[in-house]
Amino acid sequence: MKVLLLGGYGVFGERLARLLVRDGHAVTIAGRDLGAAERLATEIGAGALRMDRAGALDGLAGFEVVIDAAGPFHAYGGDPYRLPRAAIAAGAHYLDLCDDADFCTGITALDGAARAAGVCVISGLSSVPALSSAAVTALAGEERPQVIDTAILPGNRSPRGRSVMRSILSQAGRPMAVWRGGAWEEVPGWSSPARYTLPGGTRRQGWMIEVPDLRLFPAHFGAGTVVFRAGLELAVMRYGLAAFAMLRRVVPVPISGPVLAVFKGLADLLAPFGSGRGAMSVTVITGRERRRWRLLAEDGDGPFIPAIAARALLRRDALPAGARPALGVVTLAEAEAAMRDLQVRTERDAVPFVPIFEAVLGESFAALPEPIRQTHVTADKSRWQGRSEVMRGAGLWPRLLAALVRFPPASPDVEVEVTKTVTRRGETWERRFGTRRFRSHLIPTRAGMTERFGPFTFLLGLRVAGEELLYPVRSGRVGPIPMPRWLLPVSEAREHVRDGRFHFDVSLRAPITGALIVRYRGWLVAATPGDPAAPPVRC
């Protein structure tokens, strides 16, 4: 096919140009720097053309496919779809390597015009969302994924394009919407780090950043949680960016030319360190399995990965008419076939997903009634809401102990909400009674389940009695110091089902005196999920 590649001499555009020439397409490299376009064109056997996407676009005539690999797409101004509209008018297919959520999702506005012209208009034909959605589709099969967790982890020696750097810097510290546990949350860009294992066992750290997946996957796949992280191989770079993100939470530093130049210069100074091995990880929790697809690109071939989906699509005999984001436009098999001439290996695995309460209780977990089991199967984050009665003990000693943990005040009837979040070692439970919140952290161990309230950690003797789940306290400590048994609170906590609904009844009595500290009892049901297609509007 006759392809015009805008930004074809950039980091990712150059790789796509090489792949398309290798596949026999007639490629013309276009951009504002004609010299750079001509140098690459001479090297790989392509044509060259000077074109500014903000200037005259009559040069699109005669091309079958127009590909925008320039970016940064978030900075395309008041008329962001000028190029795809011009491509449609010229009767050419339009593809792009967009990584901006707003641009990618908004491309559907051109669907009517694209269908009328019989051309294909696809945005996001890159690692995300094209390749990531292909992996999720293959991993989930016919099942609905509960959790989708994706990470892209480039090697430090991989070249850095200014457009990608500007995109990441512009997001650092600024609010972004993430779908977790069936609700939209606002988190700052470049936050909430997590570790990922690469093929071969190497571990890398990724930080939350906004990509089209976060906006598109919740509704498309029906997932309960969708997260995406990107990583930097060198600790000094990722923690330096984290510090910059924290600054931008307070002071909205604009990403001007000089600011970008400083970061680019620092990154170039550190370029000789680390490796050129890049990776991508897609994990899906569905049913009772944790399924994972991982990719490892050896030195030099990592920057080819964002070009793979476009290469795979252009290997087809015909392209679908209409305008849409790149969700499911290529299959994982097609993408992997398009990598076979690169130094890239992929692998898939699946392991059982075992919630922490089932891990501690073993076979007896299955004997619990379904409403109790449901509350203890959290793949990432779950939300529960209901009503509760709260009773508080009198006297200085019980009041002091209650204040240390921030137990709620007495109330005959108060709204209650419990949010359970999976952590690296267990789960964090945040309980809200009216306006009062308190947290505990649960960790499964060989000895049983531990639960920490502030400085106090207790070993719980979880056990199933009939159709109830009991939480007796077996031992405790303050920080690392063990508590003698006479200093342990007396706990009578149980979960049971009444009228088909989950109920809780927790009573804590003070050590030594046995006086009541707090008792709260009530019921919970799963919180009503939000609208996955409607993320919060930023002010």
Residues 485-511 pLDDT 10s: 888 888 899 999 999 999 999 999 988
Q: Are residues 103 and 152 in the same domain?
A: no
Q: Are residues 366 and 505 in the same domain?
A: yes
Can you give the pLDDT at residue 72? 76
Place of tokens 């398009």: 338
Residue 46's identity, in one-letter code, is A
* Interatomic CA distance for residues 376 and 420, integer angstroms: 9
* Interatomic CA distance for residues 35 and 43, integer angstroms: 13
Predicted confidence (pLDDT) per residue in 385-414, tens digit:
999 999 999 889 888 988 888 889 999 999
Spatial CB neighbours of 91, under 8 Å, sequence gap ≥ 6: 117, 119
Predicted confidence (pLDDT) per residue in 200-219, tens digit:
888 999 999 999 999 999 99
Asked whether residue 249 is domain-assigned, the answer is: yes
* Interatomic CA distance for residues 194 and 90, integer angstroms: 46
Q: How confident is the model at residue 539 (pLDDT cuts 50, 70, 90)?
A: very low
* Interatomic CA distance for residues 197 and 203, integer angstroms: 4
* Interatomic CA distance for residues 233 and 339, integer angstroms: 23
Total number of domains constituting the chain: 3
Of the candidates 490, 484, 486, the one whose C-alpha atom is nearest the C-alpha of residue 516 is: 490
Beta bridge partners of 292: 283, 349
Can you give the pLDDT at residue 87? 97
Core vs surface per residue 316-348: b (16+ CB within 10 A) or e? eeebeebbbbbbebbebebbbebbeebebebee
Asked whether residue 40 is domain-assigned, the answer is: yes
Q: Are residues 286 and 401 in the same domain?
A: no
**Burial zone of 166 (CB within 10 Å; 0-12 exposed, 13-18 middle, 19+ buried):** buried
Intra-chain end-to-end CA distance of the chain, in Å: 44
Mean pLDDT score across all residues of the chain = 93
Q: How confident is the model at residue 538 (pLDDT cuts 50, 70, 90)?
A: low
* Interatomic CA distance for residues 353 and 359, integer angstroms: 10
- CATH code of the domain covering residue 28: 3.40.50.720
Task: Look up the domain containing 84 and give its range.
Answer: 2-123
Asked whether residue 291 is domain-assigned, the answer is: yes
Beta bridge partners of 505: 494, 521
Cis peptide before 511 (omega within 30 of 0): no
Q: Are residues 23 and 116 in the same domain?
A: yes
Q: How confident is the model at residue 477 (pLDDT cuts 50, 70, 90)?
A: very high
Q: Are residues 148 and 68 in the same domain?
A: no
Predicted confidence (pLDDT) per residue in 124-150, tens digit:
999 999 999 999 999 999 999 999 999
Predicted confidence (pLDDT) per residue in 256-296, tens digit:
989 999 999 999 999 899 998 999 999 999 988 999 999 99
Q: Are residues 448 and 370 in the same domain?
A: yes
Asked whether residue 516 is domain-assigned, the answer is: yes
Q: Are residues 219 and 118 in the same domain?
A: no
Residue 296's identity, in one-letter code, is L
- CATH code of the domain covering residue 473: 2.40.128
Q: Are residues 87 and 70 in the same domain?
A: yes
Contact 290, 192 (CB under 8 A): no
Predicted confidence (pLDDT) per residue in 420-464, tens digit:
999 999 999 999 999 999 999 999 999 999 999 888 999 999 999
Contact 429, 416 (CB under 8 A): no
Can you give the pLDDT at residue 378? 96
Query: Percent of the chain beyond pLDDT 90?
Result: 83
Q: Write down which residue in 84, 101, 123 finishes a domain.
A: 123
Q: Are residues 142 and 236 in the same domain?
A: yes
Asked whether residue 130 is domain-assigned, the answer is: no
Query: Percent of the chain beyond pLDDT 70?
Result: 99
Predicted confidence (pLDDT) per residue in 355-380, tens digit:
999 999 999 999 999 999 999 999 99
Phi, psi at 468, each rounded to 5°: -120, 155
Q: Write down which residue in 94, 123, 152 finishes a domain.
A: 123
- CATH code of the domain covering residue 173: 3.30.360.10
Q: Are residues 178 and 193 in the same domain?
A: yes
Q: How confident is the model at residue 514 (pLDDT cuts 50, 70, 90)?
A: confident
pLDDT at 537 exceeding the cut of 70? no
Asked whether residue 325 is domain-assigned, the answer is: no
* Interatomic CA distance for residues 345 and 84, integer angstroms: 34
Q: Write down which residue in 123, 148, 180 finishes a domain.
A: 123
Can you give the pLDDT at residue 422? 96
pTM to 2 decimal places: 0.92
Can you give the pLDDT at residue 162? 80
Residue 372's identity, in one-letter code, is I
Place of tokens 């012209």: 117
Contact 121, 93 (CB under 8 A): yes
Asked whether residue 323 is domain-assigned, the answer is: no
Q: Are residues 144 and 113 in the same domain?
A: no
Asked whether residue 338 is domain-assigned, the answer is: no
* Interatomic CA distance for residues 538 and 208, integer angstroms: 18
Q: Are residues 419 and 492 in the same domain?
A: yes
Can you give the pLDDT at residue 53? 85
* The two three-digit tokens of residue 450, written as one number: 């531990």
